[in-house]
Structure formats: structure tokens, C-alpha cells
Amino acid sequence: MGRVEELIKAHGELEREVYLDFENSSPVPSEIVEAMLPYFNRIAYGNPTLTHKPGWEAYEAIWKSAEKIAGFIGAREPEEINFTPGETEANNLALMGAALKNRRNGRKIIVSEIEPLSVLHVCRMLENYGFITVKVPVDGEGFVDLEELKRAVDREVVLASFMSVNNEIGTIEPIKEIVEIVKDRSPEAIFHTDASDAYGRIPFHVERLGVDLATISSYKILGPRGVGALYVRSGVPLEKILEGQFGTQKLWPGVENTPLIMGFYSASEKAFANFERNVEHMRRLRDKLINGILEGVDEAILNGPRDDKRAPDNVNVSFLKCEGESLTVELSLKGVYVSSGSACTRRILQPSHVLLAIGRRFEEAHGSILMKVTRYHTDEDIDYVLRAIRESVARLRTIYGSMGG
């Protein structure tokens, strides 16, 4: 088992292709690729710590990117932006770095049940070093239970991590209130938020929210993969988690990847130019997709909240009597690319922890698909997707049949 050539060929000539799996990877728009290209071999290809022109050019390019990105999230200093190879690495750095450096302040880490695995699994790892994780539950739409949070936080809390927008179900969490609750009860605690699904899609301002650490990711705003950043408020003590040759990035060793950082910067600029218009466009297509599915397909359930409480790009729907992995394959054959919260690729039969945390039954979680719309999608794309979903769910339900009933 190894080759998938035949699977790719089986798609044949597709009438249209609509990529909606922006949760897991992203095509990079040509205009952003164009912005990166000079940095591979025409300019700034040197190591930014070295004393020659290509090195200084790289230093300048990285500095400018940090300055701009700092501006987009309301950070005070460009030095507060620490480039990493992505969201996973930034979350690892935030949690391990903050817990290990500040262990004298306490041993308790507070998170929600629906954090990404690059947070939850790091917590599990930190438990091996004497830390205790407390997971705060969420309600049926994914909102953190603030009363439970109040009960859970005490002076032992050294670190809290709550994502700004849930990556699977689009819930926009009340981060400002969560920060206040945590800091009221444990003033020394360091507050981290994974803002990868907030950045470029909802107003996000580190100073106004009062967070100490924030993760942002390039590919989640249509930039290249392999780059992200951790905002670290100046003065917040963090341990490095990798050792080696350090350059311009104080917390991440190795040679800076200038073209990727430029791609991240360019993607950020394009997300924030006409921010309101971009968001309105996404929100309209999101609602068209959600409403079209709920009206056009029986036994379909929306996962997560609606309207202004939901990220403008996120659509997550469960179909009963239709298993999610089958649906991703069937939709792929029609040129529609989505992902599923089904457990189908795992033997231990555990579907998406986020869907289970909001109270979805197993069969609802197995039948879920996750889609994200962008400013590049059109009404025609969504019409095509809706037709493909209706046809695909209908065909898979004929395979389900009566199931012996």
C-alpha cells in the first residue's frame, strides 16, 4: 500500500474544484506567492544575523514584517512578535515555555476542553513534570463555562490557555472576560490564547484583551505553511524549548526563513486591507452555505453558534446516516474538498474531541464535515458545493439504506 496515483486519476475531468479545507492546509493565492518570490533568490537571501548586504536585507525584511504584524494585533513592539514554524510550534513554545519558566508561581494549568491538540497534548506532557491540568467545560455551542472557570482558578494557576476562536466550530470566546476572571484570582498567571482562527477574521487586539501570549498562523490566513508567530508581551518570562544557534528570533533557534515570513506578512496585509469588506463577504457565503445545507438536506445539524458569535469563515455540519470519511471521498470525486471530525482513521474510535465536548453524540460527530470560506470564494462556488453535498449525502444514504430496520 503506498501509491495514490490511481485515486487522483479517478477524479477525471472535474466541472469545478472548490477547496474548503482551510483548517488543514491552504493554497497560497498567486498575489501572495508573487510577494514571496524575490526573497528566494533576488533579495534578502542572506542570514539576517550576518554582516553583509543580503544579510542586512533579510534583517530589514524580517523586522518590517514583525513591525506590520505587531500593528495588526495591537502589540506595542515588533520584538514582541516571535516567528516560529507554525501554530503547533508556537503553542508548544507558549505552554512549555511559560510553565517551565514560572513553575515557582504554581503548578496548575487551566484550559478549556476544546483547545487544539497542540495545547491539550502539551498539557498532558507537562503533567509528567508535576503540573496539573484543569479542563473547563463548554456549553452546547462551545462557549467556555465562566462559572466553572471562576470555581477552577486559584492562586496555584501558573498558566491559562484559551483559544480566541475555536478552529472546528467557530465559537468566538469571550477572551477579555476570561482573562479578567483568571487574572483576578491569580494575578501572576500567564495568559495564552491561540488566535490562529481569529487573526484576520475578527477584531483581535492583544492590548485590549490583556493577553500575555498569542499564537497566530500564516496558512490560516492564506499565507504559506511553515510559518507562524507567538506574540510575547514584553517582560513576560518564557523558557526556550529548543536549543541551537539563535539569530534574530530570541525564542526559536535556527536560520530564519525570510521568504515564508514575507509570505505571512503579505497574507496579513491582504487580510487587513478591506478587512470589513472581506469579513462581510465571508460571513455572507458562510450563511449561504449553512442555510443551504440545513434547508436542502434532512437530518443535518449545525455545530457551533450562529451569526456574530461565530467566526465569519467557519461552517461545521453533521449529517446523520452518512459517515464523514465516506463523505469527504465522495465530495472529492466531485471536486469539493472538505475534512471530517469522524474517527474513521483511528482504531480507538474517538471522533473530534470538540464535537464530543459540545455534547454531540458519537454518530453525530462521525457524520460531521468542516469547511471554511475565504474572500476568494464566489456565490457560484457555494451553489456548486451545495449541489455536491445534496447529491453526495443522498447517495451515501442509499448505502446506509434501512440498516436492517
Partner 1 sequence: MSRAPLPYSPKILELFRNPKNLGRMDDADAWAVAGNPACGDMITFYLKVGEGEVVERASFESYGCAANIATSSILTEMVKGKTLREAWEISWKQVAEEVGGLPSVKFHCGVLAVGAMRRAIREYYKRRGETPSWIPKEPTFEEKQALEEEELAKRLAKRIGGGI
Instruction: Name the one range near partner 1 by CB under 8 A: 130-138, 252-260, 305-313, 361-369.
Output: 361-369
Sign of CA pseudo-dihedral 306, 144, 338, 275: positive
- 130 forms part of the interface with partner 1 (CB under 8 A): no
Q: Which stretch binds partner 1 (CB under 8 A): 1-9, 82-90, 137-145, 284-292?
A: 1-9
Least Å from the CB of residue 311 to partner 1: 21
What's CA 137's distance to the chain center, in Å? 20
The one-character DSSP state at 326 is H
User: Is residue 394 a contact point for partner 1 (CB under 8 A)?
Assistant: no
Q: Contact letters (x/-) for partner 1, 81-120, by CB under 8 A?
A: ------------------------------------x---
Our CB check for partner 1 shows the closer of 97 and 324 to be: 324
Q: Does 342 help bind partner 1 (rule: CB under 8 A)?
A: yes
Total residues in contact with partner 1, by rule CB under 8 A? 41
Residue 359 in contact with partner 1, rule: CB under 8 A: yes
Cell of 377: 470564494
HEC assignment per residue over 165-231: ECCCCCEECCHHHHHHHHHHHCCCCEEEEECCCCCCCCCCCHHHHCCCEEEEECHHHCCCCCCEEEE
362 belongs to the binding site for partner 1 (CB under 8 A): yes
The reply to whether 400 sits near partner 1 by the rule CB under 8 A is yes
DSSP letter (8 states) at residue 138: B
Binding mask 285-324 for partner 1 (x = CB under 8 A): ------------------------------------x-xx
Contact 94, 122 (CB under 8 A): no
Among 37, 294, 329, 394, binds partner 1 (CB under 8 A): 329
398 lies in the site for partner 1, by CB under 8 A: yes
| CB closer to partner 1 out of 175 and 327 | 327
If the CB atoms of residues 51 and 402 are measured against partner 1, the closer one turns out to be: 402
Return d(Cα 294, Cα 303) in angstroms, integer. Answer: 11
Numbers of helices and strands, H then E, in the chain: 15, 13
Please identify, using beta-carbon distances, which residue of 109 and 343 lies nearer to partner 1.
Answer: 343
Active site residue 344: yes
Is 356 one of the binding residues for partner 1 (CB under 8 A)? Answer: yes
5: three-class secondary structure by DSSP = helix
Residue 201 touches partner 1, criterion: CB under 8 A = no
Buried b (16+ CB within 10 A) or exposed e, 26-49: bebbeebeebbeebeeebbebbbe
Q: Does 343 bind partner 1 (CB under 8 A)?
A: yes
On whether the CB atoms of residues 262 and 32 are closer than 8 A, the answer is no
Strand order in 314-319's β-sheet? 300-302, 314-319, 368-372, 339-340
Q: Does 350 bind partner 1 (CB under 8 A)?
A: yes
At 274 the three-state DSSP class reads coil
**Terminal C-alpha separation, the chain:** 36
Catalytic residues: 344
* Sites of contact with partner 1 (CB under 8 A): 1-4, 6-7, 10, 117, 321, 323-326, 329-330, 333, 342-347, 349-353, 356, 359-363, 366, 398-404
